[in-house]
Amino acid sequence: MSRGRFISFEGGEGAGKSTQVALLAEALTSRGIGCLSTREPGGSRGAEEIRQLLVQGDVGRWDSMCEALLHFAARRDHVTTVIEPALQDGTWVICDRYTDSTFAYQGHGQGLDITFIKNLHRTATNDIWPDLTIILDVPVAEGFDRISGRATSDDRYERMDGEFHTRLRAGFLEIAAQDPQRCAVVDSRQTTEDVHREIVELVEKRLGL
């Protein structure tokens, strides 16, 4: 049995990741490809418990290193109990956020050393990377307009200031520029349908769908 493919979606707040994850899962399923949609932080029982520590509470609840360590504790449980078993079983995994979010949020956004994050990733995940990472890019102000009516306004990251989110967006774009073979940037200001169409074309081209 061939190994499944691993696709991650990244981007700032309001970029439309959850919608595009669901649409891609439907597209894969319609082509007879078994797939699993999951998210981070979370995606496994233990990781979902850690998620509450990360997304709830005061904005300044944790420093950047505490946050990174919590994210990787959740990520290890997610990878070892959900992602890796699914890939070994031939299932395609579509994940809403992965390690690039730690680079962007705790690294570029909060100033944590990038090399430290790379070492954490290597140790905690056995250096497992997505086959394709799709970064949905949207200007910060537009992203916040999209989430202004959400009921989940208690999310710590959504309540961080505009300067943080500006650094975050720049961080994602830098990640994409440094690893163009794995990453692709998609302008999420397009219609939902056009973004989905571009994503399917990327998967077809890069992963042989």
Task: Supply the pLDDT for residue 143.
Answer: 87
Phi then psi for 129, rounded to 5 degrees?
-120, 155
Burial track 23-54 (b if 16+ CB lie within 10 A, e otherwise): bbbebbeeeeeebbbbbbbbbbebbeebbebb
pTM score, two decimals? Answer: 0.94
Q: CA-CA distance, 6 to 94, in Å (whole number)?
A: 6
**Domain coordinates of the chain in residue numbers?**
6-207
Task: Supply the pLDDT for residue 153.
Answer: 54
**Among 1.20.120.1780, 3.20.20.80, 3.40.50.300, 3.40.50.880, what is the CATH number of 6-207?**
3.40.50.300
Give the pLDDT band of residue 19 (cuts 50, 70, 90).
very high
Give the number of C-alpha atoms closer than 13 A to the C-alpha of residue 126, restricted to the C-beta side.
6
Q: Residues, the chain, total?
A: 209
